[in-house]
Chain A
Amino acid sequence: MGTKRHFRVWRGDSAGGDIQDFDVEVNDGEVVLDIIHRLQATQTPDLACRWNCKAGKCGSCSMEINGKPRLGCMTRMSTFEEDETVTITPLRTFPVIRDLVTDVSFNYDKARETPAFAPPPGVAPGDYRMQQIDVERSQEFRKCIECFLCQNTCHVVRDHEDNKAAFSGPRSFIRAAELDMHPLDDREDRKEYAQAHQGMGLCNITKCCTEVCPEHIKITDNAIIPMKERVVDRRYDPLVWLGRKIFRRDQLNGSDGESMAPSTSVGVTDVAKGAPYTTNRLPENPPVREDGRMDVTEVTLPNPGGPSPFGDQTFPLPPDKVSYQQPGPRHGSLGEDGNRSEDGHHQTH
């Protein structure tokens, strides 16, 4: 049997709002999102709330429950006392749209600014081979459901709006770490990027992102601190510098055979051809609408996904405008005699 319990829910929009009181029935086994739905069904049909899977996997129902950033669907009512008032508010760090719905496009902006996976030179898609122990660190970060609770709770932007331009947040840091630790990612400048463009130095490792992560990703210990240490490698460590001088080893720059061999395929250019990676191209901003803001969804964009390396273009490009030579079918993955070419650098199981 259900019992009536007291709830306080923030209602309003960008023009203002306040916390309103409700008495709602609560049944055994229910979660906070169930109560929101019951409120919508019985008392406040226009209460806005973003939700989708109700299983802690879509990352939509992020809200603050009794002041703590939580997923509504993963917060059981049984964790509260029978007579406890439960206060539900929208995420504080992002602009509010209405009621419990906030505009989290800050996070998508930051995601688009993060350089994407750089394919290894000379390895055709489908030929990627990695050992489990090489990818397991990156795999932890793939658990991220993009609920943005970490972004919301991080005091760097939560308490200091002015840091938003310079600070990408924990979600972007684990993305940077994921790619920097990825055995096949070819970019070498992710540490510098994290420091210079993502604002990693603003993080003072107070670990709130780790505390609120519903996927229990060890954001601070496994991503942010290792990335900070990698920056130290490059900039501050005397012994690493000495070791590199003495042993002529430069693992960090990938010149000891860590990367794949350059491709010999027709039509391959730039890094894939073996040309050194340059950082001449600055990170490109995501495409924006005429009003200077990004679209709500990338589906409506002319070039969905990350910023196009060809600039703001409509696809497909006319053949005479492309800057590369289109390779023939299956070219590059098979040799002349039909056998797979071994370059000795593949990591195979």
Chain B
Amino acid sequence: MTTTATRPGVGPSGPDRPRAAITAKTLRTDRWWLAPLITFVGLGAWVAYATVRVFMHKWYFVEAYHYLTPFYSPCLTDRCVEGSALFGTPLPSFWLLPEAAFTLPFLLLFRLTCYYYRKAYYRAFWLSPPACAVPDGHEKYTGETRFPLIFQNAHRYAFYAAVIISLINTYDAIIAFRSGDSFGFGLGNIILVGNVVMLWLYTLSCHSCRHIAGGRLKHFSKHPVRYRVWTFVSKLNVRHMQLAWITLGTLALTDFYVMAVSAGWFSDLRFVG
């Protein structure tokens, strides 16, 4: 005779049958809090540094070698040092107005809506969730379905802007190969070029870029060139997180180097000129 076990807890109950009664909020024993903590400290420190620098309004340009920090590019206000303003100075000098008032908001938007940074700050700052299988820090959750987070979908606008800004940064890095009026080349150039290369890699590894390059196609076989581009961007895209952090580093380093040379804390190491 077959005996059938009575299945406890399975009755004519509705959809709100209980989950397993486990009191501990999380049973994770590893250091799950370390990654969000590092992200919190790292992003927090960078934002603090960038904010101070943007509103410092000085030490952003080395006239002798044409080094312009990316935080002030393109320089658009009346107080821009001679030679640093490549696109004229249409903006007034007001201390709340950054020199690069037309580009910084878009760069901020690009990073804020970036699929990697979203993960990073949702976890580290908003605790939603702080780590996998660790409870959300909030009672209610609506995701990115309504204002203001629905504007995360504007990442692609910000990507287009970031491409234009990367072009400007590239131009800045190229015209910095000067010493007075002749060709010159120093450590600052290596830093500027390195920063621009990493910025391009970060910008091109963007998930939106991957989608535009070919991800949106249904038939790769009909678009071999776009498939190649998509493959290339996909390879970069795997490193999007690393590139996000590397560019934060190169941006801060470039800015600090220009600031230090501009302020005269140390002089640029010149190879030519």
Contacts and interface: CB of A to CB of B under 8 A. Distances in A.
Interface of A: 10, 12-19, 64, 66-69, 84, 87, 89-98, 102-103, 131, 133-134, 153, 155-156, 158-161, 163-164, 180-183, 199, 201-208, 211-212, 221, 225-226, 228-233, 235-239, 251-252, 254, 258, 291-292, 347
Interface of B: 7-10, 12-22, 24, 26-30, 115, 118-119, 122-123, 128-129, 132-133, 135-136, 140-145, 149-150, 153-157, 160, 207-208, 210-211, 215-222, 227, 237-238
B146 to A, nearest CB: 8
Contact of B30 (A66, A89, A207, A292): A66
A96 B132 contact: no
Contacts of B153: 228, 231-232, 235-236
B18 A95 contact: yes
Given A69-B133, A97-B9, A204 B128 contact: yes
14 contacts: A10-B20, A14-B13, A87-B27, A87-B29, A95-B17, A158-B135, A159-B136, A199-B143, A206-B122, A207-B119, A225-B211, A232-B155, A238-B157, A291-B12
Contacts of A93: 19
Contacts of B19: 92-96, 102
Given A134-B220, A153-B133, A226-B211, A205 B27 contact: no
Contact of B129 (A96, A155, A233): A155
Contacts of B207: 221, 225-226, 229
Contacts of A96: 9, 18-20
Q: Which of B27, B28, B208, B215 has the most CB of A within 10 A?
A: B27
Contact of A64 (B13, B133, B210): B133
B218 A183 contact: yes
Given A205-B118, A206-B129, A160 B136 contact: yes
Contacts of A206: 119, 122-123, 128-129, 132
Contacts, number: 190
Given A199-B143, A229-B211, 16 more contacts: A13-B9, A14-B18, A92-B22, A94-B19, A95-B18, A98-B7, A133-B221, A153-B133, A155-B141, A159-B129, A201-B143, A204-B118, A204-B128, A205-B119, A231-B153, A258-B218
Contacts of B18: 14, 95-96
Contacts of A97: 7-10
A205 B123 CA distance: 10
Given A18-B21, A207-B119, A89 B27 contact: yes
Nearest to B5: A46
A89 B22 contact: yes
A199 B144 CA distance: 10
B70 to A, nearest CB: 25
Given A66-B29, A134-B221, A229-B207, A252 B8 contact: no
Contacts of B28: 66-68
Nearest to A195: B145
A184 B66 CA distance: 56
Contacts of A181: 218
Given A92-B22, A133-B220, A68 B17 contact: no
Given A13-B9, A221-B207, A239-B160, A159 B135 contact: yes
Contacts of A226: 207, 210-211, 215-216
A142 B210 CA distance: 22
B132 A156 contact: no
Contact of A208 (B12, B132, B156): B132
